[in-house]
Amino acid sequence: MSSTLMEGFLPFEHEPYFNFKDAQVADRQRAAFTQVREQYLGRTFPLIVNGQEVQGDGTFDVRNPADTREVVWSFQKATPAQLDEAVKAAQAAFEEWRFTEPFQRATIFKRAAELLRARRMEFNAVMTLENGKNWFEADGEVAESVDHFEVFAREAMRWATGKPVYPMPDEHVTTVYEPLGVVACISPWNFPSAIPLGMALGALAAGNTVLWKPASETPLSSYLMIELLFEAGLPRGTVQFLTGTDDVLGDPLVDHPGVRMIAFTGSKEIGCRIYERAARVQPGQKWLKRVIAEMGGKDPTVVCADGDLEAAATGIVQAAFGYSGQKCSACSRVIVEESVYDDLLARVVEKARGLKVGLPEENADLGPVITLGSAERITKYVQEGQGRVRLLLGGETPDVGERVGGYVVPTILADVPADDALFQEEIFGPVLAFTKARDWQHAIELANDSEYGLTAAFYSRDPRKIDEARKKIHVGNLYINRKCTGALSGTHAFGGYGMSGTNAKVGGPDYLFWFLQTKTIAQRY
């Protein structure tokens, strides 16, 4: 990256988290909840199509998962005609945005980072009311969104330089990268700020335009982020904001011949469906659609007999039960050498027993899972598993007063066989399976016994074992002697192997390549 292009860019530093143990900081966050309730509660928000705020065909309610009796705000249901209009508007905007200077894109992202820094607590509060994250989890995600703006500003500049080629004596040859077109970004509810923003910034930084389709559970986190981008100077036509039902924004969005690429994060089931449908060439379509997908995980932590058991226990509890286990990177399997199995298990149970389930708005350790249906599904896994394995923690219903929500206590199951559903299937809740390994090599084999391959943690003090783990554990993100959650944009490029997805590494040095196509230009002297 040339110094001329990057002139004025300070060295990148990750956005620091708020210290909510400071009483003044905590008071500011409480005030932000009051502000959000006063400013947004009960409002109905529009679609954004062709730069305009428009109404759809009816609305749907967004409910607070901490108490599902409370409707916090409402959003529009887009129509098929509005989807088609949005695609055409994005195509028209692409013809201008594709030729903008990368420095202009970077400047917009840098300005957006400053705007978001000033509103972080507001965005924290909105997220908590939409998806039940406590203050620490919400703030970590919004801080990551600030990092995304800073990282993608730099990546927009870096990819603009092209790549050198081996010279010819009578030709001037260059390799340059050009944007694709309209990118549909389809995002989940568990990271409603950082995930859609990362996908959208990848598209925009590369010169594409975006159809932004958020999860119906968490649309305000996306809407506010898009409005912030517009305030920072992003041309309004570059992003179309669509909310609504799957019959309009599911298969029809993926199938639309005007969509050049789909960027998706969500379940394996939906990701595979998108991958299959996108492979079909629709009437009028002039390209093969590109797809990037991140589809979940069944993430192991391997603990060797020589590992730091106390550090491992702390990392396991944080990774398994942070945000009630509703992260694709969450630790859901612990694989331990048998000589230290009982010791580690006791430490983890003791630490997890101290976690409190309660209202995320009051910063409880664990809030609810996203819906009552999710809680029922998670509870069924535990109930069915009790006849096969040992239940050491969990199984009871937490006391949250009169609130109606999907509250599930931290649950730990021991002696789980490798062929059990608890070991193999993504549960997406605060449920942790312990499995015994004969030795550390067997532990690595068990870690790889999964169709997923997103994250893993490996605890050992032995350089030889660590070297083997680095080579043989089959995941996109491997963490040595630390927890398997908490990837930082720009540092821990994030994306998995196998059925965890296409390995498009968001926040990494190669991510923009997925949103670009390569042109070779040879000019004879």
The residues that are catalytic are: 294
* CB of 388 closer than 8 Å to CB of 420: yes
* CB of 97 closer than 8 Å to CB of 209: yes
Return the closest-CA partner of residue 299 out of 71, 517, 504, 477.
477
302 DSSP β-pair partners: 335, 458
Return the closest-CA partner of residue 189 out of 167, 213, 169, 173.
213
d(CA 494, CA 321): 20
As separate numbers, helices (DSSP H) first and strands (DSSP E) second, the chain gives 16, 21
The three state secondary structure string of 137-205 is: HHHHHHHHHHHHHHHHHHHHHHHCCCECCCCCCCEEEEEEEEECCEEEEECCCCCCCHHHHHHHHHHHH
What separation, in Å, do the N-terminal and C-terminal C-alpha atoms of the chain show? Answer: 27
Token couple for 380: 């069924």
User: What 3-state DSSP class applies to 225?
Assistant: helix
d(CA 222, CA 112): 14
d(CA 522, CA 248): 44
- Residue 342's contacts (CB-CB under 8 Å, 6 or more residues apart) are none
